[in-house]
Amino acid sequence: MSDLLAVGSYTSATGGRGAGVTLLARDPRTGRLASAGTPSPCDSPSFLAAAGRPGTLHAAHEVDEGRVSTRTFDGTAWSVRGEASSGGSSPCQLALHPGGGLLVVANYGGSVGVVSVRDGVVGELVQTLTATGGGPVADRQDGSHPHSATFLGDGSSVVIADLGTDELRVHAVDAAAGRLSEEPVQVVRTAPGTGPRHTALRDGRLVVVGELDATLTSWAVTGGRLGDAVVRPAVRDRPAGDVWPSEVARAPWGLVVANRGADVLTLVEVVDGVPRPVRDVPLGARNPRHVAVVGHHLYVSAQDSDAVVHLALDADLAVVDRSAVEVGTPTFVLPL
């Protein structure tokens, strides 16, 4: 018996080598990966989200005229259930509302799109939000570059991490209307040059990884608002100038950060709500774009090595097993 992992990739539409969404078999006992199979061809599905139904996912297609889609694997073949505009260019992340009625899409090209979801399938673009500003890193912060959306609490608010403006913008969510507040109800600015990218919720705090300065910044979340910031390094033993974090993910022991450049996974404990890096684990593959955590098993999309890498950890967080499967320019791993 095997579990399934869906892998999103960059495809030829954006200079990648992937096939679209690819399925991998995972042995539920050992966690090891089997060979790849059963692709769903599509243009650069760089981010995936579970749709709340078995075998169904939403995908963000990171192309110039951004799109999102819903597709289902029935055990034999894929089917596309629906597609919609993302409301901008290069959608790089999306988040499904806890109630299932809307998607918020971060378009790296400079906008945030809100897409309706009906019966678990994307409907239509209903709202587009934009912001102005920039930051001190000229080649990455020339304007707004939303990189993720995260719903807080019961979904009555959502926080947008904007790599380009060094901001977290909190918007109120009207789930019944399927819309966000036009203006943010809170704007939190990180240190200049942080480049906030992706976030994780842990122990009542929001943790954001700074891609440009290799930090973890956390805030207490109270009533859908963010409190005072605590800043820690995103990597334990490497200089920040050699590290460009890409992902922070919840884990049973705390958090995992995927650090590109150094090509390590940093295991992070959370003490009194504050993250503390405790170990850097060499991946043995290049450009860890994303990490999915299933218990003590880590599944990493090593984008520049054309591989999904599995690491099994013991109770002391030491690596005790490793497996890998070839997948062209993988960017995201989603347990189905």
Q: What DSSP character marks residue 247? A: E
Q: Which residues pair with 169 in a beta bridge?
A: 160, 187
- How far, in Å, CA of 254 to CA of 269, rounded? 5
Contact 179, 165 (CB under 8 A): no
Mean model confidence pLDDT for the chain: 95
Average pLDDT over residues 103-112: 98
Q: Is the dihedral of CA 321, 326, 329, 331 positive or negative?
A: negative
φ and ψ at 299, to 5 degrees? -120, 115
Beta bridge partners of 155: none
Rounded distance between C-alpha atoms, residue 149 and residue 184, angstroms: 13
The pLDDT, as a whole number, for residue 240 is 61
Distances (CA, A) of 200 to 66, 184, 204, 312: 24, 20, 10, 21
Banded pLDDT at 37 (limits 50, 70, 90) = confident
Question: Nearest 5 degrees, angle CA 285-CA 290-CA 292?
Answer: 105
In percent, the amount of the chain with pLDDT more than 90 equals: 93
| Per-residue pLDDT reduced to its tens digit, 168-194 | 999 999 999 999 999 999 999 999 999
Instruction: Determine what percent of the chain is predicted with pLDDT higher than 70.
Output: 99
pLDDT tier, 35 (very low <50, low <70, confident <90, very high otherwise) = confident
For residue 127, the model assigns a pLDDT of 98
